Structure 1
Amino acid sequence: MAKIKHNNFLDTVNEVFTDAKQEGVLHLYAEGDTFSGRTIGVGNRQLYHFGTTGYLGLEQDPRLKAAAIDAITKYGTQFPLSKSYISNPLYKQLEEKVTDMYQNPIIITKNSTLGHLGVIPNAVNDRDAIILDHQVHWSVQSAAKVLKNRSVTIDMIRHNDMDMLEKKIKNHSNKHQRIWYMADGIYSMYGDYAPLSDLKTLALKYPQLHLYIDDVHGMSWTGKNGTGYALGELGSLSENVLLFGTLSKTFGASGAVLVCSNKKMYQEIKTFGGPLTFSAQLEPASVAAATASAEIHLTPEIHELQNDLRERIQYFNSLLENTELPLIDKNNSPVFFIGTGMPKTGYNFVNRLMKEGFYVNLGIFPAVPVKNTGVRITISRHNQKQEIKALVEAMVYHYPKALEDTHTNALRVNQAFKRDVKPNKIVASNHTVKVQLEDSITKIDKALWNTLQGNQGVFDWEGLEFLENTFSNNPLKEHNWKFWYLMIYDQNQHPILSTYFTLGLWKDDMLADVSASQLIEKTRKTDPYYLSSLVLSMGSLFTEGTHLYIDHEHPLKQEALNAMMQTMETLEKQCHAKMIVLRDFSENETLHPYFQGQGFVRVQMPDSCKIDLKARETIEDYGAKLSSRNRQHLRKEILAYEPLLKIDILKSCNADQLKQVEALYNNVHQNNLGLNTFPFPEKLFKNMSEHPNWEFITIGLLDSPDKMIGVMLCYNNGGHTYVPSFVGMDYSYLTEYYTYRQLLYQTIKRAIELKFKHIDLGMTASFEKRKLGAKITEKYAYIQTFDNYTLEFMSILELNGSTNTA
């Protein structure tokens, strides 16, 4: 099969960020001639600043400012040399002060991102393995992925899942010298902590385990001498721990710091640490400001500053306790996250708070799953208690209004974050439309369904009845699907929207790169359900086409869409699905802004291939329309071989023929990891043989008339569309007789003979189908995931697969 195209993760991120930028909540510019830290200028207004990561306010400390100004006066704006040659005169004092803080050897880096790029490739050798917490900062993940060039194994666990981590450690312990677990000390979105006590226990149990902790958000505001949360929890720094802190953010200056008690590793990193060697060193002003800050950290004053901040944090927590605002993780860090669920609710809430006079951050994909969008609020010493109280009052007032404006409610938000919600606070659904939800197509009016949905694919009324019978009462769980049919009407019973959903077990790597699927399938030989999840999908894995009918001109279209969303979310919760998938949509889908605002990200699917036929057209007429190059292809590789083959149209098959059909289908399925799905149940082929709408186009050899070398399984959609749903082939004859191309040609020939208007050639192999006149259309799906783990883990596996490591 031809290689399919895969979604570009950066394209998805760009779409989400562009949407947020257009809503006026990202990529803003601060305004004003001065900056105090207490307020920030945005849109010609001064807003109270609740978005800083300078939690102690040291960036505005007059001692740091004076030191920076003096350094510029004495040494200039920069010291343009690599530190490998010579450091500027101020560096030595800074290194001494920071060493005193940590009581361990340290290395100053330009920033944490360059620091990780310098340290990780030096600390991790080719015999090691890396396990990433899936919420560890992007800069750590990016630096770790560089090691795929050296074939270092990289793995990933769900956020703070210590049971999963221990299983991964056991799995890697016999293959690798050291196992590095990389995590944040304090996570930047929810303000939650790494379970360092549990990690210490695991490190004692498994001596191979080494910890790499990025604690830049835990720095200064906590810990002895402001050395951060992680060191405070660990107590001391053992040789199996590398710790990153920051000289920016709360520290008030610029740069980052690596702390390493392993003398040998310390010397290796310091001697040659990639960007540490070749990047420019910190500017004199930054070094001087950092030294002034370090001096404060080494005095009791730092604990006074910490206590001052802690009092504000506790005050904010106490105020939130008396509200019903959905605080996602209650803790004592300066970072708070109020969940909004859908991005468009987040946009609305942030804009409302800015109009009220408060600047806050939007937490959005990929930092959090799209449907876990929310507002990140940070508390600093700049914030006065009256301003903190005013912010809470503003949030209490505006939060329900943001929900109402964006047609959502507290139930949906809490479901998105897997939180309980008080029943009396659930907002009632809109009753302007009538919702009919059935679990069988037999409960839906046949004529109405076929009018709305019946002219394409295998999901006319008869086709869906066939699918229900086929995907039920099977011995394997992946062969049993649940079906729901959604009809939404206005008060006059006029249909506004219709679609159907299936719940089934999907392979998480269905659209991943082939290299990732090859790795995963090795594990599935002993663990068949490894990396598989229950998915609630519009349509099904068996069907392709426009699964959503909507009357775009109806005045209640928006209400119908909202009702569909709430229906899906209810089904998702009831069935414990890990993902919702909406498919198949075009690139210029008019509902794109709506789906994105509801917490879905768009991913590219394999191309769709269709042929439209003219009335009274013959196969000769059809061939004559092809380009000269494609006509030549038709003559040489298809028509020349047609007389050598036995081609039959079977309306039903005997037992031997069914066995051959299944074997040929399995050959193709096993060879097509580009669209990796579970195989279909055995009874599918028997049901096809007994159903009047199915037929089999078979290819055999003249000298072996009973042996099939290829088969196309075709569905008759009420005389409207001919659907060659699946193909089967014996690959040993593929190049000799061009079997696949012959099957495509015979499908077109059969559809013309039966006087169909359309042929739905399905997905994949678009190059081959285009040569026979198919129209190729890019198709997209919209997905909403339980969390980002699967999406990120697939990218890790693709890296591993590209270097052929397990």
Structure 2
Amino acid sequence: MDHSAQLALIESHIDSGVQRGLGHLVLEDERLDGRFVTIDGERRLNFGSCSYLGLELDERLKRASIDAVERYGTQISSSRTYVSSPQYLELEHLLERIFDAHVVTTATTTLAHFSAFPVLIGGRDVVLLDQSVHASVQLTSSMLRSGGTRIETVRHSDLAMLEERVEALSRECDRVWYLADGVYSMAGDTAPIGALQALLDRHPQLHLYVDDAHGMSWRGRHGRGVALEKYALHPRMVVTTSLSKSFAGGGAAIVVPDPQLARRLRLLGPSLIFGGPMQPALLGAAIASARIHLSPEIESLQADLQARLELCNDRLASAGIPLASSQRTPVRFVACGPVRVAYALGQRLTREGFHVNAVGFPAVSTRRTGIRFTLTRHLEPGDIEALVDAIDRHFEAAFRETGDSPTEVFADFRLPETHRFATSGTATPRAAARARHVELACAATIADVPEVTWNQCFGGRGAFDVAGQRFAERLLGREAAGPNASTFRYYRGVDARGRTVVAAPFSCFRWKVDVDADEAVSRVVEERRREDPEYLTVRAFAAGTLLSEGDHLFLDRESGDEWRDGLARMLEAVRRDARALEAEMIVLRDLPADDDELRAFLEGEGFVAREGPTSHAVEIAWRTEEEFLAGLTPKSRYAQRRQVMPFDAHYEREIVGKGTRRLRDDEHAHLWDLYCQVKRRSLAFNTFDLPDDVFRLAEADPSWELTLLHPREELAGGGVEGRDLPCAVGACFVGRGVYVPTVLGMDDRYARTAGLYRQMLRHALLRAAELGLPRVHLGYGSDLEKRRFGAVARRSTMYVLADDTYAFEALAQIEANLGR
């Protein structure tokens, strides 16, 4: 997805929440008390603050800020490279006592990362980002690529994967840096610091960088945070933390194990050289807060908050509310699944007088949205009980409102089904209405689908009518297909009049996430696959098959809103079957790029739209070659006469299939070799190899034929029965009104110098004309070559629904490393 498309996608999702009154809100209070906020004229309990200890309203911090402004003014506007406020010396001295380590302060946590990374991490190092590490870490670390640093993503808190990558990378780089959060800002779970310290002890090239912004103050001796609560700062560990949030001052601290490193950060940190300093008022508040942290009072403040955390967790557990994490932190995340449920629950809680955060994409994946709320000392125990009671009352009601089922939440978040929401199984009114309007039929084989009806839906669209699916099942529906071994499902929604309003074929198989990536990216991925064949692959439940191309979704748009009911019911069944098949991703592919109505519907179901590959089709509206050329543009005619037609005499075409000779075993072995040559030469559409008997099965199927091109000159290696071995093969589907070249094999020697690919395109069109078929599907890629044959390009959109987006995030890092 290019940058502009990505921004448009993010904008639409964020704006959706804003339009529902759940974001970009403005406080209307003249004074704040920490417990309540006023928004849209309504007084609400504030469950959206990250000032967990409530120190932002402490009189000592306020007086210290006022005193600092009186003494130093509103700012000291000079780079710290030359001169800085004396407040810095006092603050850093106090912080070093808190952390029992060396400290450098910066204006914000993001600027701390911006200063630390170029000093800590070199061009021969590799960075491993935790999948859920804060966006500020991901953004600022990306600048390291300009110096040659490679960046990868590892699954969230997956220590086995982390150690595996450290062991592999230690052989090829100077150091491996793992970047993580102390407390993750969405789910509220914590990093396994003890296990990470053990990894540091085992692997001398591993270094650890922890952003502990959400762990500061409310845990640890002197409030030093979650990252350093139980363990001293390791010699190869750096902690960055916020002096805002719980600390309630301003700025951030970089905590390092030795004074020389602190000195280098002060000398070389970009934001410390070029960025502005902290304002005196914030420095004054931070100093006052540091003194509180060094006093016994911090322990009573921590205990006060801890009691609220335990109360909240206990009440949530008793109510059976599903949480993304049950760890006792001030950040709580109620799992909702589809974003529309999070919005509905958020609006319901707002009307009850609670200010909470409805969280959706891009902060979380589209099926793992929820309500995030935070706990502070300002809140009374009764406030917390009231919120949990309100969530308990409205949780199922929000699902009924949107027509979703709470049972799906547990699958989306991979939570154990242990309470009433998981086992209620109550059909929602909307789901019941859908069932009245549309009856859904599902089959596991095309043999159980009415042939006439299916062909009415999909005949002429591609190789996925009944004949096409029958062949796909024969080729791919077996263990011998290897990673491509597929399980099939056929869905068809019928209204009360017996009319089909929705239909689609699906298959479940192993999908390479880089299937449509740049070839240079796929080559890097394939290098990793030599050691790990399933690297960046997922089990996908996708519309169509590995052999099909085209719009795989039939919708009767003339049925009023019944197509919506039918599609919603079908997607419910698709999600259910995907879970049963242990699929990690659902894909609707090759759908029209300009169908805004369908896009809005699918995004509402949690799908993320991505630009799909461009396909090409030629309408055969000519009978003679002269008519064919006359229908082309002048440039295309010129290309045909100069780059295609001069090679016509170099090849002899043979059609093998129904009613022709049968190929011998050695010929089939040769055809497979030609296919492999194409696969090895191009990774433009990167999939696992098809089964090696694909051409043998196509030859024997009445709906398929093989197009062979033989060179008229002797090909090195001799001939077969007086004929040269073919230098090209195409397995072509002969469908209802459509001709679909599907599987291609070519001899590298002829492909490079003798116009072989263009000859295969030419003969596909000529063969379709011979058979009286009005349309040829030429598939993906080679846009310019196909346009020269009169092909019309069709942009498509791919809709993806993935519970875990790790593979896509890891692929994005590889693309960024290569500058793609």
- TM-score w.r.t. the length of structure 2 is 0.93
Aligned equivalent of 2:733: 715
Instruction: Pick from 322, 329, 352 the counterpart of residue 333 of structure 1.
Output: 329
Question: Within the alignment, does 1:789 sit opposite 2:798 as a pair?
Answer: no
Q: Which amino acid aligns with 2:153?
A: M
Aligned equivalent of 1:195: 192
Instruction: Pick from 616, 624, 628 the counterpart of residue 630 of structure 2.
Output: 624
Aligned equivalent of 1:410: 406
User: How far, CA to CA, are the matches of 1:685 and 1:18 in structure 2?
Assistant: 51
Choose 118-127 or 508-517, whichever is displaced more. 508-517
Aligned equivalent of 2:672: 662
> What's the Cα RMSD here?
2.2
Choose 647-656 or 764-773, whichever is displaced more. 647-656
Pick closer, same or farther for the CA change 1:399–1:474 going to 2, 3 Å: closer
Instruction: Pick from 547, 550, 570 the counterpart of residue 564 of structure 1.
Output: 570
**Cα distance, 1:447 vs. partner?**
0.4
Q: Tell whether the 8 Å contact from 2:477 to 2:488 is kept in structure 1 after alignment.
A: no
User: How far, CA to CA, are the matches of 2:624 and 2:345 in structure 1?
Assistant: 61
Query: Unaligned stretches of 5+ in structure 2?
Result: 715-722
**Cα distance, 1:446 vs. partner?**
0.4
Instruction: Pick from 236, 246, 249 the counterpart of residue 250 of structure 1.
Output: 246
User: How far, CA to CA, are the matches of 2:20 and 2:636 in structure 1?
Assistant: 48
Instruction: Pick from 507, 520, 535 the counterpart of residue 515 of structure 1.
Output: 520
Q: Which amino acid aligns with 2:466?
A: W
Question: Within the alignment, does 1:601 sit opposite 2:611 as a pair?
Answer: no
Deviations 1:87-107 (A, max 9, x none): 123222222222222121100
**Cα distance, 1:492 vs. partner?**
4.1
Q: Tell whether the 8 Å contact from 1:253 to 1:286 is kept in structure 2 after alignment.
A: yes
Q: Which amino acid aligns with 2:663?
A: N
Pick closer, same or farther for the CA change 1:536–1:266 going to 2, 3 Å: same
Aligned equivalent of 1:726: 743
Q: Tell whether the 8 Å contact from 2:337 to 2:408 is kept in structure 1 after alignment.
A: yes
SS in 1 for 2:467: helix
**Cα distance, 1:482 vs. partner?**
0.7
Question: Within the alignment, does 1:270 sit opposite 2:266 as a pair?
Answer: yes
**Cα distance, 1:277 vs. partner?**
1.5
Aligned equivalent of 1:744: 761
**Cα distance, 1:122 vs. partner?**
1.0
Q: Which amino acid aligns with 2:44?
A: L
Q: Tell whether the 8 Å contact from 2:367 to 2:606 is kept in structure 1 after alignment.
A: yes
Q: Which amino acid aligns with 1:470?
A: L
Aligned equivalent of 1:109: 106
**Cα distance, 1:617 vs. partner?**
4.6
User: How far, CA to CA, are the matches of 1:750 and 1:34 in structure 2?
Assistant: 80
Aligned equivalent of 1:768: 785
Q: Which amino acid aligns with 1:772?
A: F
SS in 2 for 1:245: strand
Instruction: Pick from 457, 477, 480 the counterpart of residue 472 of structure 1.
Output: 477
Question: Within the alignment, does 1:311 sit opposite 2:329 as a pair?
Answer: no
User: How far, CA to CA, are the matches of 1:618 and 1:383 in structure 2?
Assistant: 83
Residue pairs, 1:307-386, within 5 angstroms: 307-386=303-382
Pick closer, same or farther for the CA change 1:100–1:41 going to 2, 3 Å: same
Pick closer, same or farther for the CA change 1:698–1:18 going to 2, 3 Å: farther
Question: Within the alignment, does 1:426 sit opposite 2:435 as a pair?
Answer: no
**Cα distance, 1:247 vs. partner?**
0.8
User: How far, CA to CA, are the matches of 1:247 and 1:139 in structure 2?
Assistant: 16
Q: Tell whether the 8 Å contact from 2:620 to 2:765 is kept in structure 1 after alignment.
A: no
Question: Within the alignment, does 1:650 sit opposite 2:656 as a pair?
Answer: yes
Q: Tell whether the 8 Å contact from 1:6 to 1:604 is kept in structure 2 after alignment.
A: no
Question: Within the alignment, does 1:542 sit opposite 2:547 as a pair?
Answer: yes
Question: Within the alignment, does 1:392 sit opposite 2:392 as a pair?
Answer: no
Instruction: Pick from 688, 693, 698 the counterpart of residue 703 of structure 2.
Output: 693
User: How far, CA to CA, are the matches of 2:169 and 2:275 in structure 1?
Assistant: 34
SS in 2 for 1:346: helix
Q: Tell whether the 8 Å contact from 1:454 to 1:717 is kept in structure 2 after alignment.
A: yes
Q: Tell whether the 8 Å contact from 2:472 to 2:545 is kept in structure 1 after alignment.
A: no
**Cα distance, 1:9 vs. partner?**
4.5
Pick closer, same or farther for the CA change 1:320–1:691 going to 2, 3 Å: same
SS in 2 for 1:593: helix
Deviations 1:745-774 (A, max 9, x none): 222222233222222111112222122222
Q: Tell whether the 8 Å contact from 2:650 to 2:713 is kept in structure 1 after alignment.
A: no
User: How far, CA to CA, are the matches of 2:28 and 2:786 in structure 1?
Assistant: 56
User: How far, CA to CA, are the matches of 2:291 and 2:8 in structure 1?
Assistant: 45
Question: Within the alignment, does 1:86 sit opposite 2:83 as a pair?
Answer: yes
User: How far, CA to CA, are the matches of 2:747 and 2:21 in structure 1?
Assistant: 57
SS in 2 for 1:180: strand
Choose 530-539 or 124-133, whichever is displaced more. 124-133
User: How far, CA to CA, are the matches of 1:65 and 1:468 in structure 2?
Assistant: 72
User: How far, CA to CA, are the matches of 2:496 and 2:172 in structure 1?
Assistant: 65
- TM-score w.r.t. the length of structure 1 is 0.95
SS in 2 for 1:221: coil
**Cα distance, 1:710 vs. partner?**
2.8
User: How far, CA to CA, are the matches of 1:441 and 1:99 in structure 2?
Assistant: 70
Q: How many residues align?
A: 797
Choose 84-93 or 70-79, whichever is displaced more. 70-79
Deviations 1:196-238 (A, max 9, x none): 111122222223222111100001111111111111021x112
User: How far, CA to CA, are the matches of 1:686 and 1:457 in structure 2?
Assistant: 21
SS in 2 for 1:504: strand
The structure showing larger relative contact order (alpha-carbon pairs under 8 Å, at least 6 residues apart) is 1
Instruction: Pick from 92, 97, 102 the counterpart of residue 95 of structure 1.
Output: 92
User: How far, CA to CA, are the matches of 1:304 and 1:441 in structure 2?
Assistant: 68
Pick closer, same or farther for the CA change 1:619–1:400 going to 2, 3 Å: farther
Aligned equivalent of 1:301: 297
Pick closer, same or farther for the CA change 1:60–1:511 going to 2, 3 Å: farther
Q: Tell whether the 8 Å contact from 2:536 to 2:811 is kept in structure 1 after alignment.
A: no
Q: Which amino acid aligns with 2:229?
A: G
**Cα distance, 1:459 vs. partner?**
0.4
